[in-house]
Chains A and B, each alone.
Chain A
């Protein structure tokens, strides 16, 4: 029970990050390697704003945290859009490898800047941890896990509704289906790509907030969850939004279950990636991915 809830909540975090990867891949057909580092920047922003509002502002904890979170979302969204404009947009139409390398460059750049600004030492910030535990019968469950699960579920439902019901969302679907045709139908592709990056980065900030209870903040905070979420997106079928959710939850559950078994725990990473490789071998397009026909 506890393992299940923890697994689902970690899965929700992975799913949130994976959504950022998968949406960007669907729209811009590129791997945004810097996505994990946007999470890192989000975490640092939350940390900085929290300490600012709590110590110098003298605000109550919840108010400070709220302000910090809003600021972090804004900063990350702007950051995501800036990265897209400066680094990726000039390369649209070039080979996907070029975009990938640039993304790696942006990732290094963000890590370097974070280290320069905030230093290399680890920082910890406990917002959600302060909530303590929920005692339900014989089980003890962390409130942070429950909140993560609930928030993650709400965001995913909202995102699905957004993509299915709104004009912008459907425009995004159209662009991911066929960029040229979408453009001919009067969709502003550049705007849609920008919006996608903005949403992806905003989700990354949510992920950062929810991820904070389990980790310390360091310049490389984003890389491992970034890679794992990327794996989750691929497991689910990259480009597919429900796929990212399924993949994320699957990976989160696997991680927590493996971590809870004595002797297997140290091999958790290997098992997760082995699952990825096996799924790719059996079904190269991912669990919920769409098959694309190869044209000669």
Chain B
């Protein structure tokens, strides 16, 4: 980038903030005129903290490329310690409730971040599946410890004060906005690009002078911090924190949100988190008794179908056909290219193409561009004698083997 060049202001970068703010304003208006139902008031903060969890896990899974199955563990630490601090403050003095919750969130976030640092250390040594099981183990350890600590209520759970239902969702969405702002700016910064480089090729990133240790720990710490904050929000929504909630199943649920939303897509995570959380709550209310497991079955089937559809090598041609990005992309408009596409033009070679020529042709959208490609000076121009098939075959088969 040229020094001093200003970043272009793009509306699309800020659209997600606008949508969230608009959504909250609409909710406030509805609440002040018609009045939101009790269930809506508890649904909204849930959506918000699910979004926070999904966005923060996406930092680890989508951007850093490390599989973490212990996100609920960070949330658990944050929820217990943050709410414990909040309870202590409430018992001690007359601090305004909003300030108490904010302090609790910061404390919960910091404690979770410390744990993020601790669990980030093995992440430096472990890869892929091994890290997944290590983080899963961490989550279960945390749960087991909180189950036995008497000051946190033990197996009965720790009771917390419910935040005022009329304003909790506003607070939750403001926190979401802050988290979103931090994540988006982190990812679009120099540091974010370094993290993505580590994901794409760790050895190459190291060779380019990127401090892999620092960035891996940074991402784990940041993600844990946000998860801890989400934990405190959870505590303010639910009233009683129980360690069963934070089992590895919950971590997996967050992971599912990230994967369905698209790894490495912050907006995708938020949409998936909102939809899944909402569906979960609605299905839980609608399907009760004997039909309750139907929820899990539907959920599982959707998950399997989506993953197979979007990842299976056999589905590749099908995916490309219905790629939404491609369907809406404008066709190349230069008249020659359009014409060439029209008559299904193919490269006309007046010499035997070299490997470099072939690579260019194969990577280009249309072959017509190269019909009259200039022959570099000094290149051997061999008149075309053999049939085209003969010339293409060995090179293309060489390509396929790669």
A interface residue numbers (CB < 8 A to B): 25, 31, 87, 90-98, 100-102, 104-109, 111-116, 119-120, 219, 223, 227, 230-231, 234, 238, 266-270, 273-274, 276-277, 280-281, 284, 294, 296
Contact = CB atoms under 8 A, between A and B. Distances in A.
Contact of A280 (B130, B303, B308): B130
Contact of B312 (A90, A111, A116, A231): A90
Please report whether the interface of chain B is mostly helix, strand, loop or mixed according to DSSP. helix
Closest 5 CB pairs of A and B: A112-B296, A273-B137, A109-B300, A115-B293, A105-B303
Contacts of A120: 292-293
A285 to B, nearest CB: 8
Contacts of B126: 280, 284
A234 B126 CA distance: 12
B243 to A, nearest CB: 11
B134 A277 contact: yes
Interface string B21-64: 00000000000000000000000000000000000000001000
Interface residues of B, number: 51
A231 B299 contact: no
Interface string B125-137: 1111110111011
B203 interface: yes
Contacts of B122: 277, 280-281
Interface stretch (B8-16, B96-104, B141-149, B391-399): B141-149
A227 B300 CA distance: 19
Contacts of A87: 304, 308
Contact of A101 (B129, B130, B303): B303
Contacts of A227: 136, 140, 248
Contacts of B147: 266
Contact of B129 (A90, A96, A223): A96
Interface stretch (B186-194, B251-259, B338-346): B251-259
Nearest to B128: A96
Interface string B329-342: 00000000000000
Given A102-B307, A116-B290, A116-B297, 19 more contacts: A91-B308, A97-B259, A98-B307, A98-B310, A102-B303, A109-B301, A114-B293, A116-B294, A238-B130, A266-B147, A267-B145, A269-B140, A270-B144, A273-B141, A274-B141, A277-B134, A281-B122, A281-B125, A284-B125
B137 A102 contact: no
Contacts of B255: 101, 104
Contacts of A97: 61, 67, 259, 263
A231 B313 contact: no
Contacts, number: 143
Contacts of A31: 129, 132
A219 B297 CA distance: 13
Nearest to B137: A273
Interface string B109-131: 00000000000011001111110
Contacts of B203: 294, 296
Contacts of B129: 25, 31, 96, 100, 234, 238
Contacts of A113: 293, 297
Contact of A267 (B125, B137, B148): B148
Contacts of A234: 129-130, 133
A91 B248 contact: no
Interface string B274-316: 0000000000000000101111110111011001101111110
B313 A93 contact: yes
Contacts of B141: 269-270, 273-274, 277
B138 interface: yes
Contacts of B301: 105, 109
A91 B312 contact: yes
Given A230-B133, A277-B137, A281-B125, A106 B304 contact: yes
Contact of A112 (B130, B137, B293, B307): B293
Given A98-B307, A101-B259, A105-B304, A276 B133 contact: yes
B258 to A, nearest CB: 10
Contacts of A230: 133
Given A91-B308, A267-B145, A115 B292 contact: yes
Contacts of A266: 144, 147-148
A259 B141 CA distance: 16
B259 to A, nearest CB: 5
Nearest to B313: A93
Given A93-B313, A266-B148, A276 B134 contact: yes
Q: Which one of B61, B128, B312 has the greatest number of beta carbons of chain A within 10 Å?
A: B312
